[in-house]
Structure 1
Amino acid sequence: MAAAQNSGDAETHQAAKRLKTDETEAGNNGEKFISNFEVGRVLRDSTREKTIFVHGKIDDQEAIVILEKTPITEDVLPEMLKTSTQTLEMRNDIYSTYKLRPPPHLSGVKTTVICPATEKHVKKYLRQETFLIEETEQDYQSITLPYINSQSFSVQWVYNILEKKAEADRIVFEDPDPQDGFVLLPDFKWDQKQVDDLYLIAIVHRRDLKSLRDLTADQLPLLRNIREKGLEAIMKRYSVPASKLRVMLHYQPSYYHLHVHFISLDYDAPGCGVERAHLLADVIQNLQHQSVYYRKHTLTFPARADDTLLGKFREAGRL
């Protein structure tokens, strides 16, 4: 995801309303809200990830609905096999396939609603061609940084978390130190029902660090603290060891306030590709060897066709 979607991500974080299909949580209001959705067009779908992104309207307001099949977990497997109805589709020698219809409480679909949705949200989820940008130190200073500063991307929702004005009940761990401290909480992509797709975010308390580009050896205590205490907190809460976690930073980030991703190795999460992901252990090692490594080094990142930053690089003759 490229820089042009950053403000959209912030708005998404604030506006997204998770509607559980679990009958104990959905309630009549949630069911009515979904039932009022008028399908417009499919922005993107993935049979591999079992997700679909749909643009439409809810009560005459622009809306995006994201539907994702929930994983089958070990604790519900026995009940699912015993209580589901089945229809034979094909049999050939020792092989047979069936269509299984689980009972309603075991066939939930995780649903995210963004309403009212802006054009930025639509562009964010729309399938588009992607390009790879190689950003030099000079490119960052003359193209990327002025673009970031001119856009004034809002991260107020991040400050709300840090100040306990929002999502305080979701915080898994906090180190309150103003220089090296952070809060650790689940990412909205994780429903917290199983650790196979575990996904948490560590958000630093400092407000002067926008991205990987701002890091120098001076921030090594902060980065080591996040890695050590973040891994310790996840092991304590979820019994997932460091050897089962991918701990990384994105460049470009989806919002400009330094944060670190803790993701299960079993989860092929968006943004884990080499063109965008930087392992925290590698970041620490690079800064140990060269204090200004990430200020001097050429960094690559993907940009979608509608990304304004991509246009800036084209205007500068860099693509």
Structure 2
Amino acid sequence: MTESSSESKQIEAFRSFKLVRLLNEDTGTKFMSLLGKIGSQDAIIVAEKTAFNTSPEILAKFQEPSNLSALTMLGQNDIYHWFLASHSEPDNEKRPEIKFTFIYPATETHIKKYSRQSLRMVTETPQLYRELVKPYMESTRVGGRLNWVYNILAHQSEAEKIVFEDTDEHEGFILLPDLKWDRKTLTSLYMMALVHRKDIMSLRDLTKKDVPWLRRVGHKIASAVCEAYPEFESNQIKLYVHYQPSYYHFHIHAVAISHDGGLGQTAGKAFLLGNVISQLESMPNEESSFADIELTYVLGEDSELWQTVFKNL
């Protein structure tokens, strides 16, 4: 199948989406997630409003009727697809306005992830991590959930999006735009660095001896972002990791500090890389790690981790 016919097939699938219900919405970040069907299979559309064109010419036309007129496919990796919708102006000028993340076929885990849910603060002790949380993490790394990550690391998907790569098997990483970013609006710049190492599921696996490596990686990420986007200086880029992360392969987020990323950048979810490094440095010996300390963080009540580990504690 040619690349163009593959793209046509995915656009056809996207257009055949039949809405079942609204899963979630956030007026602050202009985000909504929709559950639907394509034939008998579940699918999810995540719609995010990109930045408005606020030029005087566009503002003058803002009251005029308009609608979405075209779809441009940004990319595909495993079950994830990304589109930009275009907005037709009276003079037939088209400009990207809405970025869609299209998940098809979607699993029950995806449906729960993108649904509105109550949040809980949980405290994870070292014992709780070792006995219950770590086995849960390990169980999620089988069955293909990380295929899209391994596709990127093997240059089988999204190779054209790579901004920077350090190919060293232990030290290296791939830096590319996160699927949350439309790759156009610099004030919401959002990059992701996937490390080549596969022995780190989360910050829990980081030890004091990883400090020099983390410093080098952080410096390289900031430098690569600034080289690719000269509008930024290194102190305008925020580097952090999530706990709990959405998937258990260690990665670092690089975000413009002007970008309000919602819950993903708040206390109880985001741990600044600089603070992670400082905490590791203060540990007593080279083998000391984040597995040895108590962590408090936020979980959704519909998450697998809440349901399988914390709900009945």
Kindly, what percent of the aligned residue pairs are identical? 37
The CA deviation at 1:295 is 2.1
Q: In the TM superposition, what are the counterparts of 1:300-311 in structure 2 within 5 Å?
A: 300-311=296-307
35 and 150 in structure 1: CA distance in 2 versus 1, 3 angstrom threshold = closer
Residue 81 of structure 1 corresponds to which residue in structure 2? 59
Q: How many Å separate the matches in 1 of 2:311 and 2:222? A: 43
The CA deviation at 1:189 is 0.5
Residue 272 of structure 1 corresponds to which residue in structure 2? 265
Residue 283 of structure 1 corresponds to which residue in structure 2? 276
Q: How many Å separate the matches in 2 of 1:146 and 1:37? A: 36
Residue 150 of structure 2 corresponds to which residue in structure 1? 159
SS in 1 for 2:120: strand
Q: How many Å separate the matches in 2 of 1:143 and 1:286? A: 24
Structure 1, 38-47 or 57-66: larger mean CA deviation: 57-66
1:183–1:202 Cα contact (<8 Å) kept:
yes
**Does structure 1 residue 229 correspond to structure 2 residue 207?**
no
Q: How many Å separate the matches in 1 of 2:14 and 2:152? A: 28
Q: How many Å separate the matches in 2 of 1:152 and 1:106? A: 39
Q: How many Å separate the matches in 2 of 1:237 and 1:278? A: 25
Q: In the TM superposition, what are the counterparts of 1:117-266 in structure 2 within 5 Å?
A: 117-153=106-142, 154-239=145-230, 240-266=232-258
The CA deviation at 1:68 is 1.8
1:179–1:222 Cα contact (<8 Å) kept:
no
Structure 1, 158-167 or 230-239: larger mean CA deviation: 158-167
SS in 1 for 2:94: helix
**Does structure 1 residue 105 correspond to structure 2 residue 101?**
no
Amino acid across the alignment from 1:186 = P
- Structure with higher Rg: it is 1
Alignment partner for residue 39 of structure 1, among 10, 19, 29?
19
**Does structure 1 residue 69 correspond to structure 2 residue 65?**
no
Higher relative contact order (CA 8 A, sep 6+): 1
Alignment partner for residue 291 of structure 2, among 280, 287, 295?
295
The CA deviation at 1:230 is 0.7
81 and 160 in structure 1: CA distance in 2 versus 1, 3 angstrom threshold = same
Amino acid across the alignment from 1:122 = I
The CA deviation at 1:133 is 1.0
The CA deviation at 1:304 is 1.5
The CA deviation at 1:260 is 0.4
Structure 1, 275-284 or 35-44: larger mean CA deviation: 35-44
Q: Which runs of 5+ in 1 are unaligned?
A: 1-26, 88-100
Q: How many Å separate the matches in 1 of 2:223 and 2:41? A: 44
Aligned residues: 276
113 and 157 in structure 1: CA distance in 2 versus 1, 3 angstrom threshold = closer
Q: How many Å separate the matches in 1 of 2:168 and 2:9? A: 41
The CA deviation at 1:301 is 2.0
147 and 34 in structure 1: CA distance in 2 versus 1, 3 angstrom threshold = closer
Amino acid across the alignment from 2:20 = G
Q: How many Å separate the matches in 2 of 1:266 and 1:186? A: 16
Q: How many Å separate the matches in 2 of 1:62 and 1:34? A: 12
TM-score w.r.t. length of structure 1: 0.79
Q: How many Å separate the matches in 2 of 1:30 and 1:209? A: 34
**Does structure 1 residue 57 correspond to structure 2 residue 46?**
no
TM-score w.r.t. length of structure 2: 0.81
SS in 2 for 1:196: helix
SS in 2 for 1:157: helix
2:24–2:34 Cα contact (<8 Å) kept:
yes
1:180–1:221 Cα contact (<8 Å) kept:
no
Q: How many Å separate the matches in 1 of 2:292 and 2:37? A: 46
- The structure carrying a bigger helix percent of its residues is 1
Q: How many Å separate the matches in 1 of 2:159 and 2:210? A: 26
SS in 2 for 1:45: strand
2:203–2:243 Cα contact (<8 Å) kept:
yes
Q: How many Å separate the matches in 1 of 2:15 and 2:159? A: 31
Q: How many Å separate the matches in 2 of 1:242 and 1:151? A: 35
2:194–2:251 Cα contact (<8 Å) kept:
yes
SS in 2 for 1:202: strand
What is the aligned-residue RMSD (CA, Å)?
Answer: 2.3
1:202–1:226 Cα contact (<8 Å) kept:
no
Amino acid across the alignment from 1:81 = L
